[in-house]
Amino acid sequence: MESGLKYKRILLKFSGEVLRDGRTGDCISSEVVMAMARKVKAAVDLGCEVAIVLGGGNIFRGATGELAGIDRSSGDYMGMLATIINALALQNGLEKEGLPTRVMTAIDMPRVAEPMILRRALRHLSKGRVVIFAGGTGNPYFSTDTGAALRASEIHAEALLKATKVDGVYTADPKKDPAARRYISLNYRTALDHQLKVMDSTAFAMCMDNSVPIVVFDFFDAGALERVVRGEPAGTLVADVPDQI
């Protein structure tokens, strides 16, 4: 265990889309799950207490369902169930890597997971267990980004780590604008005012109100997660800090 970590308790937020198999189109790729599990294990081996929130977009999105005529509340509950499926898949991968893991859900589902009880979650983390929070907030109209911000605030995470396929937050879409520049650090207010789409505005505001820093980084960059928890340069820090490019 390493004592020189910048962030000793973290909440990792993954989009459900990262689980999709790009070759076959399957909702969940076992190879991706195991790659994720190995990277989480590397952080745990450094001495981090790790909680995780997964989206469900690889299976179903409530907002997309609404466009197809599904009632928004029903669609959001369907999306919550999708996050539980993803959580069980990741739990399986983590346990194959030898990590004790607990799935805790905002929707009671005692046959497959524990209910979200804060004191129990904190005990699991203190015992070195990885905790996967599933089912969002348990309420429609709230995204899994907001669910991640809520859980990070509840467990007093030292940072919310937003795992993406890009290496931070840019002034514009780097795929469309070659002049786009990456922020090294970014103030919460700038992220809100410019409506940067890394997380939704409710999630940004909740992190700002509860002083939870957000680090946006490329999870698929080898060693990036370890650099983030050590406090080494990686990604973009969103916090009560000056904007820096």
CATH label of the domain that carries residue 40: 3.40.1160.10
- Predicted pLDDT of residue 127: 95
Per-residue pLDDT of the chain (245 residues; tens, 9 = 90+): 455 789 999 999 998 888 888 788 788 989 999 999 999 999 999 999 999 999 998 888 776 777 788 888 999 999 999 999 999 999 999 999 999 999 999 999 999 999 999 999 999 999 999 999 999 999 999 999 999 999 999 999 999 999 988 888 888 777 788 888 888 998 988 888 887 777 888 898 899 999 999 999 988 888 889 999 998 888 899 988 988 88
Q: What is the DSSP letter of 133?
A: E
> Under a CB-based contact definition with an 8 Å cutoff, are residues 138 and 113 in contact?
no
Question: What is the C-alpha separation between 131 and 175, in angstroms, rounded?
Answer: 34
What is the distance between the alpha carbons of residues 42 and 48, in angstroms, rounded to a whole number? 9
Q: What is the rounded CA–CA span in Å between residue 82 and residue 77? A: 9
78: containing domain: 9-239
Identify whether the C-beta of residue 54 lies closer than 8 Å to the C-beta of residue 16: yes
Distance CA 225, CA 24 (A): 27
Q: Is the dihedral of CA 101, 102, 106, 112 positive or negative?
A: positive
Strand 114-115: give its sheet, edge to edge.
Answer: 114-115, 101-105, 130-134, 49-54, 9-14, 159-164, 214-218, 236-239, 185-187
The answer to whether position 90 is within a domain reads: yes
Query: How far does CA 186 lie from the centroid of its chain?
Result: 19
Give Dmax (Cα) for the chain: 52
Residue at 172 is within a domain? yes
Cβ-in-10-Å burial (0-12, 13-18, 19+) of 21 comes to: middle
Is residue 226 in some structural domain?
yes
**What's the pLDDT at 65?**
73
51 in a structural domain: yes
Query: How far is the C-alpha of 105 from the C-alpha of 84, rounded, in Å?
Result: 7
Enter the tokens of residue 181. 């520049």
String of DSSP letters for 65-94: HHHTT--HHHHHHHHHHHHHHHHHHHHHHH
Residue 245 maps to a domain: no
151 touches 133 (CB < 8 A): yes
Whether residue 1 is contained in a domain is answered as no
- Tokens 């599904």: give the residue: 70
pTM check: above 0.85: yes
Kindly report, residue by residue over 169-195, the tens digit of the pLDDT.
888 777 788 888 888 998 988 888 887
Count the domains in the chain: 1
For residues 191 and 205, what is the distance between their CA atoms, to the nearest angstrom?
9
244 inside domain: no
pLDDT given for residue 3 in this prediction = 56
Residue 170 lies in a domain: yes
